[in-house]
Homo-oligomer: A and B are copies of this chain.
Amino acid sequence: MEHVSFLPLSRFAVCGGTHGNEMSGVYMVREMQRQKADRTGSVSVTSVLSNPPAVDACRRYMETDLNRCFTDALLSGPTTDDTPYELRRARELNAQLGPKGSREAVDLLCDIHNTTANMAVCLIFYSFDWIAIHIYKYIQSKMTSAPVRALCLNEPPSEAYSLESVGKHGIAIEVGPQPTGVVRGDIFNMVKEAVDLTIEWLQKFNSGSTFEGGEVEAYTPVGSVDYPRDPTTGEITAAIHPQLQDNDFKVLRPGDPVFQLFSGETVKHEGDDLYPLFVNECAYYEKKVAFKLTKKITVTLPSVGVKKD
């Protein structure tokens, strides 16, 4: 079986509050800063509150979505008086934790997000990054309090728009269900366990452990489904059907109920067997869709270990 070795992964960054109303990361980062948790064995830990003004205002963002600002093109453009706050902040974060694509970048960047959808713990990768997927496999094998799943987007690094793409390796942790503006103890505990297990993995990796390869299951997007809308006003005319609500990652088959019109009728799924994610997520600031559709994939992992000098 294939084996891939990497240099030690000694610099780890944990970010929260990239979306200012997703509270698990905000309180996780504040607690790490309060405890001055800046080193665990071989791993130095930097904790960063990504968007402090949005956290203070309890809003997703102030002027533009910070987590769409990290493409190479946006990071390298000129800063003028008209540059939105979040793009300025993205360039600061890139200077602090990157620069993206450089040798100076942190080895692993983990950005914490929440969703109102019933996603439990979902790790999101923007590429088939063996380190990130091995950490997913490890967390999944150790965590008992909630299901752990992975969503693979597979985008070129230069076009990756989210904060974790600034690290040499990057993981977004998406945890829910949690309303915006609220911190739930159960969800906080899941986030804390995932971060602690990530640090544990990094320590084992740095100390010379080999992590066996094998097959892991993940989801990859194939499309999205919009709400039924009034053709004149564009307003939504249906809720997610109660039989689909909270059923993220459960297979949706042709004929299964998808929407309940406010007038009472049911709309059913047409097409292939697929897996809905981000069902009925609160995402007012973006083009809101009802849910994303994904298919299951199997990823064949090489074994990984630390590169000896």
Q: CB within 8 Å of B: which residues of A? A: 27-28, 30-31, 34-35, 58, 116, 177-186, 188-189, 230, 235-236, 239-242, 245, 260, 262-263, 280-282, 284
Most B CB contacts (10 A, CB to CB) among A28, A180, A235, A239 go to A239
Complex CA–CA separation, A282 to B262 (angstroms): 25
For A30, what are the chain B residues with a Cβ–Cβ distance below 8 Å?
Answer: 235, 262
Known pairs A177-B179, A183-B236 / 19 extra A-B pairs, C-beta < 8 Å: A27-B236, A27-B239, A31-B262, A34-B230, A58-B284, A116-B179, A116-B182, A179-B180, A179-B282, A180-B180, A181-B282, A181-B284, A182-B281, A183-B280, A184-B245, A184-B280, A185-B239, A185-B242, A189-B260
Instruction: Report Cα–Cα, A41/B10, bound state, in Å.
Output: 73
Chain B residues, CB < 8 A from A183: 236, 239, 280
A42-B126 Cα distance, complex, nearest whole Å: 60
Cβ contacts under 8 Å, A263 to chain B: 31, 34-35
Knowing A179-B179, A180-B282, A284-B181 are in contact, say whether A262-B188 is a contact too (CB < 8 A). Answer: yes
Min distance, Cβ A114 to any Cβ of chain B, angstroms:
10
